[in-house]
Chains A and B, each alone.
Chain A
Amino acid sequence: DAGVTQSPTHLIKTRGQHVTLRCSPISGHKSVSWYQQVLGQGPQFIFQYYEKEERGRGNFPDRFSARQFPNYSSELNVNALLLGDSALYLCASSQDRSSPDTQYFGPGTRLTVL
């Protein structure tokens, strides 16, 4: 079975632009979570979606939004990009929202904002 996939792998944007990151969970997984990992720091939780509904939101501004589709894939959108948004964006999928032992991370999208 394929693991969690994310696209694109790398992205370069300029300040003020908008970006959409995509994630496909492992087959059978219904929960998707998004994290931001700045270099030298641990991942910071952004959103959790389960059964197409938002179930958790981290301490991020409203410029960050996400959604989950009927096939359980997900998009993370970031508007009005700032230099500080440069980071590795990780998607993780799990069978349900309370099973960390079934959570697997994708390879991430490296976003650089110039």
Chain B
Amino acid sequence: QKEVEQNSGPLSVPEGAIASLNCTYSDRGSQSFFWYRQYSGKSPELIMFIYSNGDKEDGRFTAQLNKASQYVSLLIRDSQPSDSATYLCAASSGGSYIPTFGRGTSLIVHP
């Protein structure tokens, strides 16, 4: 059974702070990892994906992957109230994209 675990939160951070979201996965065969943002009542939106160990940066977002520890994280720098949403972690193995999602972490950025 492939599982992706996330703390449901909520994680509350002040505006301008760094938000750190974490995710662990059980399937060692997972090769690709993804972070989605889902606003309340809306559908998920892909914000980051990472395949290799280490860090990947895109604007205010940094994804970190540690395959030995089966751990993925997402850092959001200079958090804004508009970042308040649920962040879904997903993992996929094999050649086709069939993801296993975590339950999501609710992030609240307060002014």
Contact = CB atoms under 8 A, between A and B. Distances in A.
Interface stretch (A14-22, A67-75, A79-87, A94-102): A94-102
B87 to A, nearest CB: 10
Interface string A84-114: 0000001000100111110101111000000
Q: In which size bucket is the chain A interface?
A: 20 to 34
Contacts of A107: 42-43
Contact of A98 (B95, B100, B102): B95
Contacts of B90: 42
Interface string B1-39: 000100010000000000000000000000010100000
Given A100-B32, A105-B44, A45 B104 contact: no
Contacts of B45: 105
Contact of B92 (A50, A100, A106): A100
B98 interface: yes
B102 A42 contact: yes
A41 B4 CA distance: 11
Contact of A42 (B32, B43, B88, B95): B88
A42 B99 CA distance: 11
Given A42-B101, A42-B103, 18 more contacts: A33-B98, A40-B103, A41-B104, A42-B88, A42-B90, A42-B102, A43-B88, A43-B101, A45-B99, A45-B101, A98-B95, A98-B97, A100-B49, A100-B97, A103-B97, A105-B43, A105-B44, A107-B42
Interface of A: 33, 40-45, 48, 50, 55-56, 58, 90, 94, 97-101, 103, 105-108
19 contacts: A42-B88, A42-B90, A42-B103, A42-B104, A45-B98, A45-B100, A48-B96, A48-B98, A56-B98, A98-B96, A100-B32, A100-B34, A100-B46, A100-B97, A101-B46, A106-B43, A107-B42, A107-B43, A108-B43
Q: Report, nearest first, the 4 A-B pairs whose CB atoms are least far apart.
A: A42-B101, A105-B43, A100-B97, A97-B96
